Amino acid sequence: MTSVDAAIVHPYEGACTGSRADHAPAIRGVLDRIGDKWSLLVIGTLRESTLRFSELQRHIPGISQRMLTLTLRQLERDGLVTRTVYAEVPPRVEYALTDRGRTLVDVAVELAKWSVEHFPAIERSRADYDRTHAA
Partner DNA sequence: CCGAATCCAATCGGATACTG
Partner DNA sequence: CAGTATCCGATTGGATTCGG
Residues in contact with its own copies by the rule CB under 8 A: 3-5, 7-12, 23-27, 29-31, 34-37, 40-41, 44-45, 47-48, 59-61, 76-80, 100, 103-104, 107-116, 118-123, 125-126, 129-130
Regarding 42 and contact with DNA (CB under 7 A), the answer is no
Instruction: Check binding of 82 to DNA (CB under 7 A).
Output: no
Does position 62 bind DNA by CB under 7 A? yes
Partner that binds at residue 48, options its own copies, DNA, none, CB closer than 5 to 8 Å by kind: its own copies
Give dist(CA 132, CA 3) in Å, integer: 40
Give the full edge-to-edge strand order of the sheet including 92-97: 51-52, 92-97, 81-86
Neighbouring residues of 82: CB distance < 8 A, sequence distance ≥ 6: 76, 95, 96, 97, 98
Measured distance between the N- and C-terminal CA atoms of the chain, rounded to whole angstroms: 43
- Work out how close the CB of 42 gets to DNA at its nearest, in angstroms, rounded to a whole number: 12
Q: Which is nearer to DNA, 68 or 104 (CB)?
A: 68
- Say how far apart CA 112 and CA 105 lie, in whole Å: 10
Closer residue to DNA in complex, CB, 5/22:
22
Q: Of 3 and 69, which has the nearer Cβ to its own copies?
A: 3
Q: Which residues pair with 51 in a beta bridge?
A: 95
